[in-house]
């Protein structure tokens, strides 16, 4: 209300005076609106100078010229070359990458390793997330073997080992026995990747888990490297 009443009074005076006063007010208001528009559409790289010059030329033509001159200026302001396809992509919000996304976790682990031995100990967090990624892959392979969803958490160890041994052989059951409890003890991938997570996994423990999981994947009929790529 405090702003609306003075603005209404100024608008009434400008309209009543007309002429150059009205054109000048439109020029100021138009520049403010164009500046706001260009800020909103900055990702599309708008031609700012062309817009401001066209606005000024249109107002001059509207005051001193004719309708044909206004149309001529509007046509001349259009781009002479075909620009990029306007598909609304500049309006889309970029979704941040998940902290537990496998590729992001691997990249974080590599950056930690490159920083040297003083910071390498901090890489226990990414190693924990990598272990969770392996656990999720094993979960998928076991579900395919026993035809039950999330068997690591929905079936007792003895029953799961027995069914895996029946489906994939005794060697697979033995390999599962070696890693079952360690995989069950891992947190969810989201919990392991959370900034507030205090969970860690030593490099030695991760290497041992990786070897045992690779052996389990081999006995299940899919090497670990192919399972991760899948």
Tens of pLDDT, residue by residue over 80-122, are: 655 556 666 656 666 666 655 666 665 665 565 455 444 444 4
Q: Is the dihedral of CA 206, 209, 213, 215 positive or negative?
A: positive
pLDDT band at residue 228 under the 50/70/90 scheme: very low
Asked whether the beta carbons of 195 and 98 are under 8 A apart, the reply is no
More confident residue, 4 or 201: 201
For the chain, where are the alpha helices, taking DSSP H only?
Answer: 4-17, 19-40, 48-64, 67-76, 102-114, 117-120, 124-146, 151-154, 157-168, 170-185, 189-193, 203-219, 224-229
Residue with tokens 């150059």: 20
The pLDDT tens digits for 179-225 are 999 999 888 877 777 767 677 788 888 889 999 999 999 998 887 75
Domain boundaries along the sequence of the chain: 7-79, 102-229
pLDDT digits 0-9 by tens, 45-78: 888 888 889 889 988 888 888 888 888 888 888 7
Angle formed by the axes of helices 157-168 and 124-146, to 10°?
60
């Amino acid at each position: 209300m405090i702003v609306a009443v003075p603005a209404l009074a100024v608008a009434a005076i400008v309209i009543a005076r007309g002429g150059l006063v009205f054109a000048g007010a439109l020029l100021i208001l138009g520049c403010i609106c164009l500046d706001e528009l260009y800020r909103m559409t900055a990702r599309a790289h708008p031609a700012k100078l062309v817009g401001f010059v066209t606005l000024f030329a249109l107002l001059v033509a509207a005051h001193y010229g004719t309708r044909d001159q206004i149309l001529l200026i509007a046509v001349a302001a259009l781009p002479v070359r075909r620009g990029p396809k306007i598909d609304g992509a500049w309006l889309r919000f970029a979704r941040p990458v998940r902290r537990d996304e496998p590729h992001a976790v691997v990249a974080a682990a590599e950056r930690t390793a490159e920083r040297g031995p003083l910071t390498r100990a901090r890489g226990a967090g990414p190693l924990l997330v990598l272990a969770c990624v392996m656990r999720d892959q094993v979960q998928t392979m076991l579900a395919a073997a026993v035809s039950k969803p999330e068997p690591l958490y929905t079936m007792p160890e003895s029953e799961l080992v027995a069914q895996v041994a029946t489906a994939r052989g005794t060697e697979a059951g033995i390999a599962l026995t070696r890693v079952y409890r360690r995989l069950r003890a891992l947190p969810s991938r989201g919990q392991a990747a959370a900034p507030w997570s205090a969970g860690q996994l030593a490099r030695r423990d991760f290497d041992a888990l990786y070897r045992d999981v690779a052996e389990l994947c081999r006995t299940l009929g899919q090497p670990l490297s192919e399972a991760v790529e899948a």
